[in-house]
Amino acid sequence: MTIIIGVGGCVAYFYFSNQFLDKVLLPAKGANAGRNINRANLIRPWLFLFPAIFALGLYLAYPVVATLWYSVTDRNQGGAFVGFANYQRMMADPKFWEALRNNMLWLIIVPAASTAFGLLAAQLTDRIKWGAFAKSLIFMPMAISFVGASVIFKLIYDTRPVDQNQIGALNALWLQFDGGIGSFLILRLLPGALMICAAVLALFVAYTNAQTIREKGASAGSVLRIVLIAVMAYVIYATLGLAYGAFTNVHPYGEPQTWMTIPGWNSFLLMVVLIWIQTGFAMVILSAALRGIPEETIEAAIVDGANPFQVFFKIKMPQIAGTIVVVWTTITLVVLKVFDIVFAMTNGQWETQVLANYMFDKLFRASDWGVGSASAMVIMLLVSPILVWNVYNARKEMR
């Protein structure tokens, strides 16, 4: 019943407003027919656009301003202007810094891993006969809600006391390791080697960028490149640290772990949920981009004696770079808004807090609108570079 009213009202608006314009207000007949038609055509676009503009303005543009206002006022003082007091209180909250730090990790790891897995899956499935079927299975988590995915992964991360059968797959797998040679290979050598590879890759990216700066000289783009090099330097430092840790950490073999309560690991395991969901998206987009590459370029490379890896990295990668950026930014947007997964699995306990959940916590549990709005503005601030970039690209395209 409510459904019919809601949908019917919407359709009725468009039909009757058009009828009104044509028949009553400016009828296309009589003495002023010509003028009336012209006037009606001036008004009609706005008639078509009005609901959309109204909804967009009210539900997206107005809140940006309103939230900005709330973030500099105090609700308890009757909405008095308090300047940056809310931001100062937020900065003083260690939970906020924890959320920001975790969000940064999410922002680096999730888009990178999803894009990498997506690229791998796209590249592999395009080569086989049942690729379409494989693709739709990898793409499937896209349809599963974050909450549903949280339940699915909670089952995987489940822990039972040591004397019972483990029903969580992760713990069952963990108990297979006993500290022998297999454990060394998988738990020390493999992650250590992966981390060293990541460090080398980061070094390579930083090096090529430094080369470009040296060749082209200082320009507007070199600021961006220097920032990128700084980020890569940090990545190298972090990955080498992790590689060292992979070889030296003492593992509690044979004891089931409560994964969700181990700081560091738990955030990473939450990220796995989102990576699992987003890989399919990256795969579909990148697969289309890979197929859009002109075949002549690949043929020419093969004729020139390039091996498959060279074809992939030197021919294909540069041609799909634009698409990779799009995929990366889209997943970045999803990550910035990630709320359900953390809310359902840990609710930000054990150092897994992220900004969106921190904000929800402040707004609806602590009823602290000032800090809540301030943290929402931080999310907005993080999104705005992508916003500017998108608008810039859209305008460029229309010209």
Partner 1 sequence: MDGIAGRTSALNWIVQISVVALVALWLFPTLGLLVSSFRTADQISGSGWWGALTASEQNLTLRTANPGDDGAQMLVDGVYSVQGQLFGDGSEAEISTWGTSSLRISEFAPGDTADLSDGETLTVQADGAYIWTSPTEMTGRGQRIFVTATTPPEFTLQNYDRVLFSGDSTDGMTRAFLNTLTVTIPATIIPIVIAAFAAYALAWMDFPGRALLIAAVVGLLVVPLQLALIPLLRLHLEIGIGKGYLGTWLAHTGFGLPLAIYLLRNYMVGLPRDIIENAKVDGATDFQIFTKIILPLSFPALASFAIFQFLWTWNDLLVAKVFLIDATGETTVMTNQIVELLGTRGGNWEILATAAFVSIAVPLAVFFAMQRYLVRGLLAGSVK
141, 239, 243, 342: residue in contact with partner 1 (rule CB under 8 A):
141
Residue 172 CA: distances (Å) to CA of 149, 227, 267, 268, 358: 20, 43, 20, 19, 33
SS3 of residue 74 by DSSP: strand
304 binds partner 1 per the rule CB under 8 A: no
Q: How far is the CB of 369 from partner 1 (least distance, A)?
A: 6
Cβ neighbours of residue 291 under 8 Å, at least 6 residues apart?
Answer: 126
379 binds partner 1 per the rule CB under 8 A: yes
Segment interacting with partner 1 (CB under 8 A) among 151-159, 203-211, 226-234, 253-261: 151-159
Segment interacting with partner 1 (CB under 8 A) among 92-100, 101-109, 117-125, 180-188: 117-125
d(CA 370, CA 341): 25
Chain-centroid distance, C-alpha 52: 26
Q: How far is the CB of 92 from partner 1 (least distance, A)?
A: 22
- Which residue, 205 or 386, is less far from partner 1 as judged by CB? 386
d(CA 267, CA 353): 8
- Which residue, 131 or 192, is less far from partner 1 as judged by CB? 131
Among positions 307-336, residues that touch partner 1 (CB under 8 A) are 308, 311, 323, 326-327, 330, 333, 336
Segment interacting with partner 1 (CB under 8 A) among 81-89, 133-141, 217-225, 226-234: 133-141
Fill in the per-residue mask, 179 to 218: x = in contact with partner 1 (CB under 8 A), - = not in contact: ----------------------------------------
158 binds partner 1 per the rule CB under 8 A: yes
d(CA 9, CA 207): 61
Torsion, Cα 298 299 300 303, to 10 degrees, reads 120
46, 180, 220, 248: residue in contact with partner 1 (rule CB under 8 A):
46
Residue 104 CA: distances (Å) to CA of 85, 193, 277, 282, 336: 24, 24, 19, 20, 9
Residue 370 CA: distances (Å) to CA of 38, 87, 123, 203: 50, 8, 48, 42
- Which residue, 19 or 212, is less far from partner 1 as judged by CB? 19
Q: How far is the CB of 249 from partner 1 (least distance, A)?
A: 25
Number of residues that bind partner 1 (CB under 8 A): 117
38, 77, 145, 211: residue in contact with partner 1 (rule CB under 8 A):
145
92, 104, 169, 223: residue in contact with partner 1 (rule CB under 8 A):
169
Q: How far is the CB of 73 from partner 1 (least distance, A)?
A: 12
Burial 289-319 (b: 16+ CB within 10 A, else e): bbeeeeeeebeebeeeebeeeebbeebbeee
d(CA 399, CA 395): 7
Among positions 235-294, residues that touch partner 1 (CB under 8 A) are 276, 279-281, 284-285, 288-289
